[in-house]
Amino acid sequence: MTASPTRRRNRTVAAALSGVLVLGAAPTMGYFGWNVLRNSKAGTAAKTYPVVAFPSTPTAMLATVDDQQLVTSLAVLVLAPSTGVGGTLVSMPTSATSAQSAEEMQVPVADSIINGGQEAVVSDVESLSRVSIGSVGVVDEAGMAGLLAPLKTLNVSLPNDVVAGTAGGSTETLFVAGTTEMTPAQAASVLLARDPTQNEAKRLPDVRAIWSALSAAVGTGIDPAAVTALGPNGPVDFADFMQHFLAGPVQVFNDLSTTPITGATNPDGIDVGRLDVSAVVTLMAGLAPSAVITPNPTLSFRIENGLSQADIDAAGLSGVTPVQVTLDLVQRLLFAAGNVVSVSPEVYTLNTKAVPDTTTVFAAGGLQSAELQVFTDTLGTVTFKDPPFQFPLVNVVIVVGRTYLEGMLSRVQASESTTTQPEASGSDGSSNTVASVDDTSASTVSS
């Protein structure tokens, strides 16, 4: 287990992706100081804006590695804002490709340590998750058992039999499907178990059962009185991070999945797939905006979507949720090669704190530049305003209004009128359609 300093790497993330998911939880923001000058227009006097800081949300990566140096389970951890205890565990499929483009050889992140050591897996996870990683834990089976030791026992509901390969080339069943009371050592063995003939889609549900059991075992927190307040630089190392993480409630996000890569881009038919970039961005921009990476040399956005289900239903959009509206907008911004730094299900930037009828865009000087027009032309009717303050790394705040729903409805109707219509893909692989989202696992983000 080692610690690495927080990094903000502007790396391009893997291309072409499709899958499921959504939002996590994060905090209330407060005034932090004053920002440097920013020109809103050539030849115009620069204006200084007060800055509203994102809450501190330290991040970590936890990876289990077997004796062949294959990554068998992977998670991104985010400490809870404000309290610094507890937080969110985001399970990452180890079959996700670590390639930075569709033209590169598609290699699963499971092979990252073999191909480049610990630094490589950290770099790959930063690219996949779109957040910088502050603390790093790469552990073997004994090390994982040690991390789980404070939990005493875990009540695990296994959806599948846990099968592992043996030194002789055969396989053995460690646990059968069903509910099992496990020791930390047994739970660690599940995370390390790997049958070479079994793909990730088969074993991942059992891995995620361990993460869910961890959340239940932590409950309201393990020995919270023993942890000290975090300093300005966050946890001192991975051990310190884990002590804070287990000291409060832990929510688990188990829904990121991959779409298998087939055909000419995977000629050997290995077990590798693509994550949905827009789903990952929507999730992590809600969980850890202070750690989000901005890989594109263009504008960076914050989305505030306070639309209610009643607003959406009144617009005539059937089966669409507020989270899907946010995801649709994220897809559009990524399609135009923008960066999304922060998302919130509440209106914060408007003084009224209420959902506007017309989508409101806060840009310096209240002006639409040629660069911004590339993004706003697809948003329907919009109003431009000068922001009362700025957020770190954010150039533009979009407060979603009811007019955005009109555009979504038009696109849905146009899609329904066409029996077969190819889906457009952006430069980073984000689709330009409304994705399917399961709200049952989504939390809300406060701003």
Express each pLDDT in 52-73 by its tens digit: 999 999 999 999 999 999 999 9
Which is higher by pLDDT, 31 or 303? 303
**Which range (68-77, 318-327, 435-444) has the least confidence?**
435-444
In single-letter form, the type of residue at position 427 comes to: S
45: number of Cβ within 10 Å? 9
Evaluate whether 334 touches 426 at the Cβ level (below 8 Å): yes
The answer for 44, left when phi > 0, alpha when psi is -120 to 50, beta otherwise, is beta
Q: Kindly report the three-state secondary structure assignment for every residue of the chain.
A: CEECCCCCCCCCCCCCCCCCCCCCCECCCEEEEECCCECCCCCCCCECCEEEECCCCCEEEEEEECCCCCEEEEEEEEECCCCCCCEEEEECCCCEECCCCCCCCCCEHHHHHHHHHHHHHHHHHHHHHCECCCEEEEECHHHHHHHHHHHCCEEEEECCCEEEECCCCCEEEEECCEEEEECHHHHHHHHHCCCCCCCHHHHHHHHHHHHHHHHHHHCCCCCHHHCCCCECCECCCHHHHHHHHCCCCEEEECCCCEEECCHHHCCCCCCCEEECHHHHHHHHHHHCHHHECCCCCCCEEEEECCCCHHHHHHCCCCCCCHHHHHHHHHHHHHHCCCEEEEEECCCCCCCCCCCCCCEEEECHHHCCCHHHHHHHCCCCCEEEECCCCECCCCCEEEECCHHHHHHHHHHHHHHHCCCCCCCCECCCCCECCCCCCCHHHCCCECC
Question: Where in the chain is CATH 3.40.630.190?
Answer: 2-26+53-278
The average pLDDT across 175-183 equals: 97
d(CA 68, CA 398): 47
Tell whether the model's pLDDT for residue 427 goes beyond 80. no
Instruction: Report d(CA 187, CA 147) in Å as an integer.
Output: 11
Of 70, 78, 115, 77, the residue nearest 95 (C-alpha): 70
Six-digit token pair at 3? 């610690």
Q: pLDDT value at position 46?
A: 62
The mean pLDDT of 219-241, rounded to a whole number, is 93
Residue 84 near residue 229, CB atoms below 8 Å: yes
CA distance 327 to 304: 12
Q: What's the rounded mean pLDDT across residues 113-142?
A: 96
Residue 416's pLDDT band (cuts 50, 70, 90): confident
pTM: 0.82
Contact status, residue 39 vs residue 49, Cβ threshold 8 Å? no
Q: What is the average pLDDT across 232-243?
A: 94
Higher pLDDT, 390 or 421: 390
Q: C-alpha distances in angstroms, 73 versus 25, 111, 273?
A: 23, 12, 15
For residue 92, the tally of other CB atoms under 10 A from its CB is 25
CA distance 327 to 442: 12
Give the model confidence (pLDDT) of 243-267 as tens digits.
999 999 999 999 999 999 998 888 8
The reported pLDDT for the residue numbered 442 is 32
Whether 233 shows a pLDDT value over 90: the answer reads: no
Q: What pLDDT does 100 receive?
A: 77
Domain 2-26+53-278 part of CATH 3.40.250.10: no
Confidence of residue 309 (pLDDT cuts 50, 70, 90): very high
Query: Bigger pLDDT: 101 or 329?
Result: 329
Rounded to the nearest 5°, which phi and psi values hold at 63? -130, 135
Percentage of the chain lying above the pLDDT 70 cut: 83
